[in-house]
Amino acid sequence: MTDSPLLIADHDAVRVVTVNRPDKLNALNGATLDALHEAFEAVADDPAIRVAVLTGAGPKAFVAGADIAEMAQLAPVQARDFSRRGQRTMRRIETLPKPVIAMVNGFALGGGLELAMACHLRIAAEGARVGQPEINLGLIPGFGGTQRLLRLAGRAAALELCLLGAPIDAARALQLGIVNRVVPAADLEAETMALAAQLAAAAPLALRGILDCVAVGGECGIEEGLAYETAQFGLTFSTADMREGTIAFLEKRKPEFHGR
């Protein structure tokens, strides 16, 4: 569709999804949230795609937030539904059985930071700035910001970013654990695509097992988490990829994984 708010391009087993509203700093309106949900459903269903990269068009913003012009027109019940719509999209990304990397090329504020935090890994350009500024509009985060910041960076950082509403730079975000890596802006795409290619070459079923274990372990007690890990560990021994990986190691060669 020519009027889609997204650009989608495949590079071997890596799909790059770009929010393409640069005139709005890639702000998330309802249509964009729905398009993202559909795009990541397609990633989940496509066996040829092993990794996804999510970014924003233009040099200024990853996603600068939710679309305030659209949001300002909402009645309370509509606002609740908009929040649910956003959370549905974030959860679709967060629960994807394939790794998703956020390539944070500029501002990631409000819904933009919430979108980045829903991804499994985040690489930021040195000039990127992230934050939850909703307090400045008399609002609170609505797409999961309070919950994911708490889990990623801890209570103190979550309260600091949400209560004060001031953005922080990429170096501070790295220190807090909100992003995984910070690189020069000129190297951002190359570094991100290199990481995506590394993940795409890994065993897909093992990747999925790790994603599942971390997701489950983050929401349960240690004994339940360990039991789940043990079950997933055992399941990997039923895969052809496990046989290939161990044989390749013993034969001192690079393994070739096929997701079986």
pLDDT of 3 reads 80
Q: Which residues of the chain have pLDDT under 70?
A: 1-2
The residues spanned by each domain of the chain are: 6-200, 204-250
Task: Work out the angle at residue 117's Cα, subtended by the Cα atoms of residues 114 and 119, and round it to the nearest 5 degrees.
Answer: 120
Q: Does the annotation mark 256 as catalytic?
A: no
pLDDT of residue 2: 53
The CATH number of domain 6-200 is 3.90.190.20: no
What's the pLDDT score for residue 1?
A: 43
Which entry of 38, 41, 126, 134 is annotated as an active-site residue?
134
3-state helix, strand, coil in the chain (%, to 5): 55, 15, 30
pTM value? 0.94
The rounded distance, in Å, linking the Cα atoms of 58 and 63 is 10
What percent of the chain lies above the pLDDT cut of 70? 99
Say which of 38, 70, 94, 114 is annotated catalytic: 114
Domain 204-250 has what CATH class? mainly alpha
Verify whether residue 160 is a known catalytic residue: no
The dihedrals phi and psi of 31, each to the nearest 5 degrees, come to: -65, -35
Q: What pLDDT score does 154 carry?
A: 95
